[in-house]
């Protein structure tokens, strides 16, 4: 080996020294070593992923497909206890009246909505809040059909009779009893007069919007022997129709047929006015 070749050998980097050996193949550098074939990780599902939508609908609604339909009927449900000026505990199933009033205003203003279906399964609640909802329902210019499923108790009775036509399921019940207060009551004579006037408002509203008379309703309201811890009457299905509180016994199909019939009459009335 010449002196120049020896000098070049010393100046080479260590990893390249093997290149001097004949017959030996160059060793790949660590950077050049190929990694084994790996499967690329899948990205997390985005907000528009159909699988995520399906799981959300199952967890929230208990079904895999939610029907979507453009309808001219607005459905409003009153479930649980009607919550008024006092917020109820979180474990109570409630319907807040401040949520329902804007919905009724929107249904009245929306020209695409021709009828309103009100479904009730309520134990009652705040008297003034219930009367406010009942007055709003009765003052709508569009046909309103109410349907009592399960129960329409206490202040749910004025809401049930506030529509243009009312239905009650065969097994549904309506509890009629006097207005009462819970908690500390002071100034008993004045409080009694206030409750008596409020009760008159409820009774007169029900008598105006149903076929029952004030006298018969007060008789049902003050009856003894039926309710364990109160005076009043528990009316079931056909009995509510017999007393004149509700117009007809029926379910969802009957209520929708009647509402469509009322909407057709409203359309024909508008055509006659235009002519």
- Provide the strand spans (E) within the chain: 73-83, 94-96, 115-125, 144-152, 165-168, 173-176, 233-236, 248-249
For 254, the token pair is: 């009957």
Instruction: State CA 65 to chain mean position distance.
Output: 17
From CA 83, how far away is CA 31, in angstroms rounded?
70
Of 159, 108, 104, 101, nearest in space to 130 by CA: 159
CA distances (Å), origin 228, targets 152, 212, 224, 225: 18, 25, 9, 7
Cα–Cα dist 109/40, whole Å: 54
Q: Which residues are catalytic?
A: 154, 177
């Amino acid at each position: 080996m010449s002196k120049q070749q020896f000098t070049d050998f010393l100046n080479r980097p260590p990893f390249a020294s093997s290149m001097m050996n004949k017959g030996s193949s160059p060793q790949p550098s660590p950077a050049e070593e190929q990694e084994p074939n790996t499967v690329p990780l899948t990205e997390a599902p985005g907000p528009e992923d159909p699988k995520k939508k399906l799981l959300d609908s199952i967890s929230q609604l208990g079904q895999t497909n939610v029907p979507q339909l453009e309808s001219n009927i607005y459905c409003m449900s009153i479930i649980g206890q009607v919550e008024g000026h006092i917020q109820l505990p979180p474990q109570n199933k409630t319907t807040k009246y401040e949520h329902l009033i804007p919905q009724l205003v929107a249904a009245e203003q929306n020209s695409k909505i021709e009828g309103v279906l009100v479904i009730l399964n309520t134990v009652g609640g705040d008297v003034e809040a219930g009367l406010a909802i009942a007055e709003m329902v009765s003052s709508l210019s569009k046909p309103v059909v109410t349907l009592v499923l399960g129960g329409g108790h206490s202040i749910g009775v004025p809401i049930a009779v506030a529509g243009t036509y009312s239905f009650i399921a065969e097994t549904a019940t309506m509890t009629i009893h006097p207005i009462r207060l819970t908690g500390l009551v002071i100034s008993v004579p004045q409080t009694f007069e206030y409750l008596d006037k409020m009760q008159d408002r409820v009774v007169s509203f029900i008598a105006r919007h149903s076929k029952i008379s004030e006298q018969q309703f007060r008789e049902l309201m003050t009856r003894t022997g039926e309710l364990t811890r109160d005076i009043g009457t528990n009316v079931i299905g056909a009995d509510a129709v017999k007393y004149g509180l509700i117009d007809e016994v029926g379910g969802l199909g009957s209520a929708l047929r009647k509402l469509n019939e009322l909407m057709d009459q409203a359309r024909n009335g508008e055509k006659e006015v235009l002519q």
